[in-house]
Amino acid sequence: MKPISYTVETKSGRARTGVIHTPHGDVQTPAFVPVGTKAGVKGILPSQLKDLGAQVVLANTYHLYLQPGEQVVKGAGGLGKFMGYDGPTMTDSGGFQVFSLGSAFGRTITKIAKGEENARDQGVAVVDEDMRSQHGQLAVIDEEGVTFTSHHDGSLHRFTPERSIEIQHALGADMFFAFDECTSPTEPYEYQKEAMERTHKWALRSLKAHRQNIEANRSQGIFGIVQGGRFEDLREESAKEIASMDFDGFGIGGSFSKEDMEGALQAAVKHLPEEKPRHFLGIGEPGDLLLGIAEGMDTFDCVAATRLGRHGSIYTKNGQINLKNEKYRSDYSLLNEGGVAIPGTEGFTKAYVSHLIRSNEILGQIIASMHNLGFIIALVDGAREAIRNGTFEQYREDFSRGYYG
């Protein structure tokens, strides 16, 4: 019996609810997955994640490989024990972070291209001018893997599919991803196709490396990743190819613009098997989450909630607001006025948190981050209930009307 399995429970159109069964517990889907890049969600204790409703946490292979090293994490008993979290865990392959040092280096291009702060927090290395002049392009991709220099100290490293899987075996997460090439959304068709075909070859090598490790094969599930950029025909081709492989689940990689997201997603999802879980990588904006759910995706991860919180922006039912704006100095309404109570943030007003943010008090960043993460988790949980009740489209429409106006 494989360590990861999926049960579909209810459907409403293409949207669905289900349960991902893992060695560390079940995940009710659809579900939002907080990102703990370096084995810690910024500003939030593992126990608080549970209070906020988080069911699973994702960490970053590239960063944990560089600091503290995968053997340190393995020595602690794996990612969950290392960070003091007893629920299901995931790791990515490190491909996106390595990509950020290659074709996107110096341009702070993210999966959906949104600027430097977003790049930093997704794990994209935004490197200083001295290192740039010394190393130029910090990653070189070939058919076998990627050679790159650390953004910490310039030391030389190499990832191949086999090495990425070896690292992720040591990290010990319940679910992890095959090594892929995540391209820039701006790359032309010819390169997207080349990168997609390379991703397919690496997927086979990743899968083989995992299945050959008997111990890991009994305790960890591997997900293949669909690529193809913003081009629907490539997404469709990639989905068919990856779906034909014996993965335990599937991820859809980013690398498309906002306007291309729906078409690229639809082209891919229809070729993925119903009986296995589907993860949408790097997606966390409220409308994008609801779009993904509507198209049949099960889980999502993104750093945006805590990133925005650290910079003073919060989600509300009427849209995103920036607490640094002058009008919030004396706004004594609650952070989530009229919305679901978010554990750990009850009773705090916009004026108070605005004051903390303006004063550079870390407490303000923590409260805002907890609020945002709780808001997003509650949004997805609400969608799950709406699917079960057969009211998802109305739920999506009502939320969008209030949030986007």
Tens place of pLDDT per residue across the chain (405 aa): 889 999 999 999 999 999 999 999 999 999 999 999 999 999 999 999 999 999 999 999 999 999 999 999 999 999 999 999 999 999 999 888 777 754 444 333 345 544 434 443 443 333 333 333 333 457 888 999 998 888 788 888 999 999 999 999 999 999 999 999 988 888 899 999 999 999 999 999 999 999 999 999 999 999 999 999 999 999 999 999 999 999 999 999 877 777 889 999 999 999 999 999 999 999 999 999 999 999 999 999 999 999 999 999 999 999 999 999 999 999 999 999 888 889 999 999 999 999 999 999 999 999 999 999 999 999 999 999 999 999 999 999 999 999 998
Question: Residue 146 in contact with residue 159, Cβ under 8 Å?
Answer: yes
The pTM (predicted TM-score) of the whole model is 0.91
Per-residue pLDDT, 190 = 96
Q: Which long-range contacts (CB under 8 A, 24 or more apart) does 114-119 make?
A: 117/307, 117/311, 118/303, 118/304, 118/307
Query: 355: exposed, middle or buried (C-beta count within 10 Å: 0-12, 13-18, 19+)?
Result: middle
Per-residue pLDDT, 108 = 37
Of 121, 174, 298, 301, which is the active-site residue?
A: 301
Please compute, for residue 392, the number of CA atoms within 13 A of its CA located in the half-sphere on the CB side: 25
Distance CA 368, CA 171 (A): 30
From 298, 286, 315, 322, select the one nearest 249 (Cα to Cα): 298
Tokens of 104: 């996107």
301 is catalytic: yes
* pLDDT (tens digit per residue) in 40-97: 999 999 999 999 999 999 999 999 999 999 999 999 999 999 999 999 999 999 888 7
Place of tokens 């429409």: 397
Q: Which domains does the chain have, with CATH numbers?
A: 7-302 (3.20.20.105), 312-404 (no CATH)
H-assigned helices in 54-115: 61-66, 70-75, 79-83, 95-100
Place of tokens 């919180």: 309
Of 26, 86, 92, 174, which is the active-site residue?
A: 92
Which helix (H) or strand (E) segment holds residue 392: the answer is: helix 392-404
Question: Residue 103 in contact with residue 72, Cβ under 8 Å?
Answer: no
Distance CA 60, CA 37 (A): 5
Question: Residue 271 in contact with residue 244, Cβ under 8 Å?
Answer: no
Per-residue pLDDT, 121 = 42
92 is catalytic: yes
Tokens of 234: 């490539």
Question: Residue 249 in contact with residue 242, Cβ under 8 Å?
Answer: no
Per-residue pLDDT, 389 = 97
Backbone angles phi, psi at 157, to 5 degrees: -140, 165
Q: Which amino acid is at 265?
A: L
